[in-house]
Chain A
Amino acid sequence: MFEKSLYDLIRGLRNHKGNEKEYIQKTLKECRAEVRSQDMDLKATALLKLIYLEMVGHDMSWASFHVLEVMSSPKYHQKRVGYLGAVQSFRHDTEVLMLATNLLKKDLAATTPTVISLPIATLPHVITPSLALSTLADLLPRLNHSHANIRKKTLVTLYRLALVYPEALRAAWPKIKDRLMDSNEDPSVTAAIVNVVCELGSRRPHDFLPLAPRLFELLVDSGNNWMAIKLIKLFATLTPLEPRLVKKLLPPLTNIIRTTPAMSLLYECINGIIQGGILDSAEDIAGADEIATLCVNKLRGMIMINGDANLKYVALLAFNKIVLTHPHLVSQQEDVILECIDSTDITIRVQALNLVKGMVTSDNLVPIVSRLMKQLKSSSPSKDRRPPGSSSNTPETESDDESQTAITAPTVRDTQALLIPDDYRIDIIERILFMCSKDNYSSVLDFDWYIDVLTQLVRMAPVPRTFDADTGALLPTRQQVDVSEKIGDELRNVAVKVRAMRATAVRAADVILDQLLSDNPVGHPLSSGALKSSIWIIGEYSIQLALPDDSLNGLLQAIPRIGKPEIVAVALHATAKVFSSIAGSDVEPWTSERKSRISLLLARILDVLEPLALHPNLEVQERAVEFIELLKLTAEAASGQPPSTDENSQEPPLLLTQAIPSLFTGWELNSVAIHAQKNVPLPGGLDLDEPIHSNLGRLLAQTDIITLQSDEADEFEVYYHQRPPPSSISSSAPAISRLADPDDDMASSYQQLSEESYLDADILAKRKAERMEKNKDDPFYIPSDNILRTSTPIHNILQNHNGPALDIDSIPVMQLDLEKIGTTAAAPSRPRPQPRQRVIIAADETLEGSDSGTGRQYDSENSSGNLTKAKSKKSKQHSLLQVDSSTIGSFSLEGNASEGFDYERQQREEAEMQQAMKEVERLRLEMQRANERIQMAQGADVQGVVIKKKKKKVAKKTAGDDENEPTKVKPKKKTKKVAAQTVEGGEPGGVTEDTPGSPSAKVAPKKKKKKKAPGEEVEATGEAGSLV
């Protein structure tokens, strides 16, 4: 068979463009055969090819045993391939790792430096605690090797050993320290030590304080910028522990900052000063100020340098660290930072965003959010290009809200609009929400503006991505939380907390619902996450609805189209609430007009609710059934009550005016702090572990029987479950909603005037109208006529419709407590400085004396709740590429560090080692057996005869004779030589071990000996292992 070199493989890949997959499969098959061959050259070549294919994504974990074989080759270039294979393919669960131990130990003791380097470089990739334990003793002497290169590598490998097996550090540290103190040491080794010490220092700074003088000496004298960077990093972790260091460090650091031409060193100096807390060391105020200003100015210079994006990035990184302690210093740089928010480079943008989040105040909130909104807005076109019809393919996940913005609000767009990934859009939206809701909305001056922003955000929120099955299974992504749901929650928070803004919020919720209904073509489910909160607001504050009938209409239209059951449940409740506020008035006389209106309403609601009684979701079903029954009763009561005539006044049915409204009125709902529940004191006699009833099961069973008995009321059931004749009322929107249209037309004329180009036209129009409304009593404000004209029809219609009792004008800000009267006067003054709108923002309710809650008490739910969740999740979950070094943090170098190896421990280790060796031997035998089986199955493979599926059968056959294996080895070995020349199909093809120089017959006796004399096991396996 023609054997390919790696070069042939690569060339072959090139020549098989189009069907590489096929070619690779073929090659893999060849490699499988070749890697089993007895010829070590062939084996190594095959392995090299496998490693290459692994790089392209073809798993080679099956070949781990062959990797081990090649590793044991006496030829360096083959050995090197083997070790490379180990580095690239071994995982923690690779079983042959156990077998590799002896080989690693042997190669560590080799005489050639290049050979020694191989296991040293490989160990960090495959290290396990047991491997660390057994190789430590071989690795330690390498610290004194004559080659600096070996010393250097050993050092780092020891560090990696210590990460999984902290005891290693105890033995190695004295030696490493000696090397560090030795001023005659090769500078590159010293630098490597500094590097390792820096790594260790960030975990256990205390242990390295005694080294400070030597490290300081290195920093000042070495003139090696790269080592200096590391040293500065190390000192930054030391200074908080030893404030006296600051005084020592400041002169050289300032000196470096002033003189060094190396930007990276300059940056790291500044960084070190920031991280070391040198800026806020109280000792020398004037000096600290001076250095802080120096740093900030240098960083500012870095951002200003034209064209070097890298410096911009690192400067922002540094600012991000300073902002934690010195926000005022950073906010002085607002201009350059805001510049970066609009950078074309997303990395820089994200950093700038991070910064902005920290420095937002009530003064700059509006401009900052405006900038971000503009970015979002200008990036929407990428979404608009999608034809609206295309959503029909994936109706489950699509909500077309933003695709419609283009139609409703054609605005001037940035020509250089970037294609912003959804991740980033979500990020921006979350940050806007965070900034605004920070400290319980302390930065928001104008809640009208905020609610408009929220309304706009709902439209711009990216569609939640289709849930990727394999991604989701592996890692919970942030995508899972629909960002529009967060926006909706934010609107709800405002509605709940800011009483003065409730009416506006309700209107916004109404607008959102309308928008969603009109944007999604009929027949498509509504899936926007904002729906839940909007519907809740509409229901809870239905009193404040401008057009309750309209909203009810919208709800009824929406309910059958809502996809998520939990939203349907909320919508059901909201429907009942809105109905109660429409129909529940006990002042309005019970006229025949009212009677028929209510009957019609009830019929329509029942028509929508009834299908939901069979909803698969239990919550929805339960609520639907409850309300259906209640409303049916109401309908009966309403039809039974004769309308009042002129002479005979009749009361409306009590069920309508008393019972239903009382379900929903009562306590006002307030926001509760997240940790409030924790602070509820546990009642004295409460034992949650105590069973409620000793025989709960029987009780429950009894209730089952009882319900069965009560099932007899069939007639009743049938009566209520019969569908009423279809109602004649169409569910299309009433004419009133169409009358509102002039509003939109007017908007376009005002759009150009507005500087807020990020808001959609209709929202802008609304703002405008509101402003007019507020200013109409202001003698200094000259109203334009058309506004008044457009506002009157709505006004009139409302009055006609709802009766004079309800005045739309009174709904917005007018309904204020006495103390809030200032609002109306304050809000209109658009030009800044803008006085704070005097609204009361309710804080989250919590209990007194709470420890856990106080810190976050003033954060709104969105900002803190999710963040803390994310934090706690993160701390538990390890990152993908993370090296776990948590063990080393708890490990102390002090104590008996000087003792180094103690014998007792060594003995214990040896015992452990023996145990491990037994395990190794067992595994080795197993592997060998498995291998023989495979070999038998595919023995003829090498010769080009493809035997498929035989492997299994043979494996089954041989599975039975495990017991006699050691004795069987011998005959097989003998046949090996035969097999090499003449292959008999199905016959054992020989073991894969190929150890030139050692007669294969020797193997068997050795193994036997081991079985007999377990005392010598270590030694014996040592030899046997080296044969592998």
Chain B
Amino acid sequence: MYPILGARHSSNVTWSSQHAVTCIGPTRPLSSINIPPNRNRSLGDDEPRFAAMISAFLVFNNQGQPRLTKFYTQLDTSIQQRLISEIFTLVSNRPAGSCNFLPLPPLLAASSTSHSSTEEQSDVPSLVTYRHYATLYFIVISTSTESPLALIDLIQVYVEALDKLFENVCELDLIFNFETLHATLSEMIIGGVVIETSLDRIVAGVRAQGTVAKRPVNEGRSTIGSGMGIGGNFAWTGRV
């Protein structure tokens, strides 16, 4: 009944009232909120989409807690955390109707000045693209040679793939199955280069790796339901 992300062409997705009670916080399906109509729809799902040299792919929630961190260059854990928190500060202060691109966080701006956008510096990560779904932020840090609009779609493809794998994906799915998150990502991006953007191929690639994806979903859902009481008082402040 719940709309999967496939229903993305409509921005005002409806969901059943029963779900409306339970989808507070991380159980809220990512599709339930504000998926802007995609301007690149005409590109079709089966075509590979490309954007090269991605420096990092991050997912964190509305409180800034990381749900997935993937850095395509080696960084110390502490610097990773600082970068995440800097980006979170930036992203959480965006006014409504802003574009999906962030100014450079201080950590990145320090090494590449934002002033000289004109120069050729294809190797420097200078584009921070984000998308906000329900309770989660998806961030891509990439070089400026990427196609910015394509990156927005790349995130969309990733979320759609997760949605297909988890059936109506929500934050809790991602918390408990972060291994699957990594697996899905590695079907799309290898070493910072996008290799696949077709939804079906990505999903097939993850499923080929075994039953991992399916089992924890049901386990996660059901146990959380019984364990936490899925009633209206279920409030997830997300301190994990």
Show the binding face of A for B, using Cβ within 8 Å.
Answer: 6-7, 10-11, 13-14, 17, 20, 48, 52, 54-61, 76-77, 80-81, 84, 87-88, 90-92, 113-114, 117, 120-121, 123-125, 149, 152-153, 155-157, 159-160, 187-188, 191-192, 194-196, 198-199, 202, 224-227, 229-230, 233, 260-265, 267-268, 307-314, 317, 320-321, 324, 344-348, 350-351, 354, 418-419, 423-424, 427, 430, 471, 474-478, 867, 870-871, 874, 877-886
Contact = CB atoms under 8 A, between A and B. Distances in A.
Contacts of A348: 98-99
A59 to B, nearest CB: 5
B95 to A, nearest CB: 5
A829 B88 CA distance: 51
Contacts of B99: 309-310, 312-313, 345, 347-348
5 contacts: A188-B201, A474-B79, A879-B108, A881-B108, A882-B125
B102 interface: yes
Interface string B18-48: 0000000000000000000001101110011
B9 interface: no
Nearest to A127: B191
B48 A188 contact: yes
B230 interface: no
Contacts of A427: 114
Contacts of A324: 118
A263 B73 CA distance: 31
Given A7-B220, A226-B197, A477 B110 contact: yes
Given A76-B210, A350-B114, A157 B239 contact: no
A310 B100 contact: yes
Question: Which residue of B111, B195, B239 has the most chain A CB atoms within 10 A of its CB atom?
Answer: B195
B190 A871 contact: no
Question: Which residue of B47, B94, B216 has the most chain A CB atoms within 10 A of its CB atom?
Answer: B47
Question: Which residue of A7, A114, A194, A867 has the most chain B CB atoms within 10 A of its CB atom?
Answer: A7
A920 to B, nearest CB: 20
A472 to B, nearest CB: 10
A347 B125 contact: no
A153 B240 CA distance: 33
Contacts of A92: 74
B97 A884 contact: no
Question: Which residue of A58, A76, A88 has the most chain B CB atoms within 10 A of its CB atom?
Answer: A88
Contacts of A114: 208-210
B87 to A, nearest CB: 12
Contacts of B183: 80
B15 interface: no
Interface string B63-77: 001111111111111
Contacts of B47: 224-227
Nearest to A159: B193
A310 B240 contact: no
Contacts of B113: 478, 870, 874
Contacts of A124: 72, 190-192
A879 B111 contact: yes
Nearest to A419: B93
A153 B83 contact: no
Given A227-B48, A350-B114, A48 B179 contact: yes
Smallest CB-CB A-B distances: 3 pairs? A124-B191, A309-B99, A264-B149
Contacts of A307: 97
Given A11-B227, A13-B239, A114-B209, A879 B195 contact: no
Nearest to A158: B191
B98 A345 contact: yes
Given A195-B195, A268-B149, 6 more contacts: A310-B148, A311-B39, A347-B103, A877-B111, A882-B73, A882-B111
Interface of B: 39-40, 42-44, 47-50, 52-53, 55-56, 65-81, 83, 93-95, 97-103, 106-119, 121-125, 141, 145, 147-150, 152-153, 175-176, 178-179, 182-183, 186, 190-198, 201, 205, 208-210, 212, 216, 219-220, 223, 227-228, 236-237, 239-240
Given A317-B148, A347-B98, A347-B101, A199 B53 contact: yes
Contacts of B208: 113-114
Given A153-B195, A879-B125, A881-B73, A871 B116 contact: yes
A345 B111 contact: no
B205 A310 contact: no
B98 A885 contact: no
Given A156-B190, A350-B114, A881-B125, A230 B52 contact: yes
Given A57-B78, A348-B99, A7 B111 contact: no
B190 A477 contact: no
B49 A226 contact: yes
A399 B18 CA distance: 57
Given A345-B99, A354-B117, A881-B141, A226 B48 contact: yes
A157 B190 contact: yes
A847 B141 CA distance: 46
B46 to A, nearest CB: 9
A239 to B, nearest CB: 15
A10 B56 contact: no
Contacts of B65: 56
B48 A192 contact: yes
A25 to B, nearest CB: 15
Given A55-B68, A92-B74, A475-B107, A14 B125 contact: no
B216 A423 contact: no
Contact of B101 (A10, A54, A313, A867): A313
A881 B56 contact: yes
B97 A56 contact: no
Given A11-B227, A188-B201, A345-B94, A883 B55 contact: yes
Given A347-B99, A881-B75, A224 B48 contact: yes
A835 B116 CA distance: 33
A59 B79 CA distance: 11
A317 to B, nearest CB: 7
Given A160-B191, A344-B95, A345-B99, A263 B212 contact: no
A128 to B, nearest CB: 10
Contacts of A230: 50, 52
A56 B240 contact: yes
Contacts of A476: 110
B107 A880 contact: yes
Given A478-B110, A880-B111, A882-B125, A13 B240 contact: yes
B173 to A, nearest CB: 12
A152 B117 contact: no
A229 B50 contact: yes
Given A17-B239, A156-B191, A264-B40, A880 B205 contact: no
Contacts of B74: 90-92, 125
A482 to B, nearest CB: 16
Given A347-B98, A881-B125, A423 B106 contact: yes
A12 to B, nearest CB: 10
A950 B195 CA distance: 50
A882 B239 contact: no
A310 B152 contact: yes
Contact of A227 (B50, B107, B196, B236): B50
B196 A152 contact: yes
B190 A120 contact: yes
B102 A195 contact: no
A880 B220 contact: no
Contacts of B149: 263-264, 267-268, 310, 314
A227 B52 CA distance: 11
Given A55-B178, A59-B77, A227-B48, A344 B190 contact: no
Contact of B239 (A14, A344, A471, A475): A14
A312 to B, nearest CB: 6
A628 B55 CA distance: 61
B97 A880 contact: no
Contact of B193 (A7, A59, A156, A885): A156
B125 A56 contact: no
B50 to A, nearest CB: 5
